[in-house]
Amino acid sequence: MLDLAYEAPKPKVIAGATHDWELVIGMEVHAQVASKAKLFSGASTEFGAEPNSNVSFVDAAMPGMLPVINEYCIEQAVRTGLGLKARINLWSAFDRKNYFYPDLPQGYQISQLYHPLVGEGEILVDMGPGVARRVRIERIHVEQDAGKSIHDMDPGLSFVDLNRTGVALMEIVSRPDIRGPEEAAAYIAKLRQILRYLGTCDGNMQNGNLRADVNVSVCRPGQYEKYQESQDFSHLGTRCEIKNMNSMRFIQQAIEHEARRQIAILEAGGEVVQETRLYDPDRGETRSMRSKEEAHDYRYFPDPDLLPLEIEQEWVDSIKASLPELPDEKRARFVQDYGLSEYDASVLTAELANADYFEAVATEAGDGKLAANWVINELFGRLKKEDHTIEQSPVSPSQLAAIVRLIKSDAISGKIAKDLFEIVYGEGGDPEQIVEERGMKQVTDTGAIEAAVDEIIAANPAQVEKAQANPKLVGWFVGQVMKATGGKANPRAVNEIVAAKLGL
Ligand code: ADP
Ligand code: MG
């Protein structure tokens, strides 16, 4: 049923001074778990609340407070793993990652280093119709977010807001299977789309819901294939990690700049130093932030306040049974069931709300292709103009379906349909009733059309002669009839009648 035949895209090649280089990219994405409460406390996760108003004693690390795991956050992470076709580990455990930061009152972050909840999975990253890259997921672990330090509110003071402290994150780690800046952006887009379909992360990048650490290295052509064969990282170049990116555009720019920086070093005979860097979009460069720290720098150890996490296979199965249809499946079904092009299907499935809207229109109108046309070209175009989302659409699926039905039954012409759409968009109302009341019905009554044609022929003998000598000029008559009928005559009928009357 599901046809996932696809071709791999070509890796990005950058020409250096002496030879070509290829890019290798792996991403660590921090996705905030969609949950009303934090990972180990009942405090709210609401965005934009008064600073330090959503902080429980355990979030503030008051002495003697103990974490209590939020089952719903774990369920969300399991759901995410299943959506990424990943292995779910029934036995996982939490570790302490120790570091000092003013917005981390515990002095450590509870994370999962040794035994993550989710193991290997994959994401199919679409790069155009029939072209996709399979990016392997290495693991997903559950961890706490830190708070926020604010340094730009006062010249002499720094502030700390702990609202975000302890919010559940999923760290989704990919294998280094991404081969260029566009693919990196497409990877984030696809991951975000899947998470939003699953309802496990809102994916609001501006609010920091989804942030990526981007690992970049460069290698000579052919080296990546050797890595793929052996899974031996020594075939690849040394990577640098660009931290905390939350803009698709900056991710692409940062990768490009970082790759060129590394190439320049290598071609000058130097060595890339593994480190953590920050991207400065104003200057268009990455800057060293700190040398790369290793796991042992963090003195990881199993968190003594939390028992290992054991979950039941039946619970996992029940979550699996409740998974929604995911983007790849939905897109394939739209192509198959409604006869849509791959392109239209991917536009319509980009957001679940759009896909649901389209399906409601298609079902009610009984014509998927026409429905797709109207949803994509008219509705999306109009919503975009007003900067509105589908949820804010003043035209309901039933109203749009009614318009599509009127076109399909030849009751109105395509041109009149656009006017009708404008009326429904601006004023609301029942499309059928509007057509009836405002006399917008297409004239298919051949008698009426014939009368109009006769009149125009009688009034324009010179044009008749010209058209009879050159049948291409028949369009002039068709235009006149359309004008005379206020655009409501059925163009097909007009064409036939004009041709017949002119004896063509
Ligand atoms: P750390 O926490 O030390 O950054 P992780 O294992 O969590 O280590 O993440 C490493 C990330 O770097 C993964 O996404 C992985 O795919 C990527 N990566 C590893 N080696 C390379 C390489 N040579 N080039 C690009 N990315 C790499
Ligand atoms: Mg890292």
* Per-residue pLDDT reduced to its tens digit, 303-316: 999 999 999 999 99
Per-residue pLDDT tens for 328-387? 999 999 999 999 999 999 999 999 999 999 999 999 999 999 999 999 999 999 999 999
Confidence at residue 501, expressed as pLDDT on a 0 to 100 scale? 85
Of ligand 1's listed atoms, the one at least distance from the Cα of 171 is 7
Are residues 83 and 194 in contact, defined by beta-carbon separation less than 8 angstroms?
Answer: yes
Domain 446-501 of CATH type 3.40.50: no
Q: Which residues have any ligand 1 atom within 6 Å of their CB? A: 24-28, 173-176, 215-217, 233, 236-237, 239, 241
* Ligand showing the shortest atom-to-Cα distance for residue 28: 1
Atom of ligand 1 nearest to the CA of 295: 3
CA of 217 to the centre of ligand 1 (A): 10
Q: What is the pLDDT of residues 169-184, one digit of tens each?
A: 999 999 999 999 999 9
Domain boundaries, the chain: 5-320, 325-437, 446-501
Summarised one tens digit per residue, pLDDT across range 149-169 is 999 999 999 999 999 999 999
Q: Which residues of 275-297 are buried (b: 16+ CB within 10 A; e: fewer)?
A: bbbebeeeeebbeeeeeeeeeee
Per the listing, tokens 């972050």 go with 109
- Report how far ligand 1's centroid is from the alpha carbon of 26 (Å): 6
Q: What is the pLDDT of residue 4?
A: 60
For the chain, give the mean pLDDT.
93
pLDDT band (50, 70, 90) for residue 1: very low
Tell me: the pLDDT tens digits for 214-260?
999 999 999 999 999 999 999 999 999 999 999 999 999 999 999 99
Distance 292 CA to ligand 2 centre (A): 9
Q: Which ligand is nearest to the CA of 242?
A: 2
Residue 297 vs residue 314, higher pLDDT: 314
Instruction: Out of 36-40, 123-127, 290-294, 336-340, pick the least confident.
Output: 290-294
What phi and psi values does residue 148 have, to the nearest 5 degrees? -130, 130
Smallest-distance ligand from the CA of 227? 1
In the block, residue with structure tokens 């599509």: 404
Our mutation pick for probing the ligand 1 site, out of 136, 239, 275, counting the most ligand atoms within 8 A of Cβ, is 239
Instruction: State the pLDDT at residue 355.
Output: 98
DSSP conformational letter for 54: S
pLDDT level of residue 416 (50, 70, 90 thresholds): confident
Query: What per-residue confidence (pLDDT) applies to 484?
Result: 84
pLDDT score for 464: 87
Closest atom of ligand 1 relative to the 216 alpha carbon: 25
Q: What pLDDT, on the 0 to 100 scale, is given for residue 297? A: 86
For 66-84, give the DSSP string: -----HHHHHHHHHHHHHT
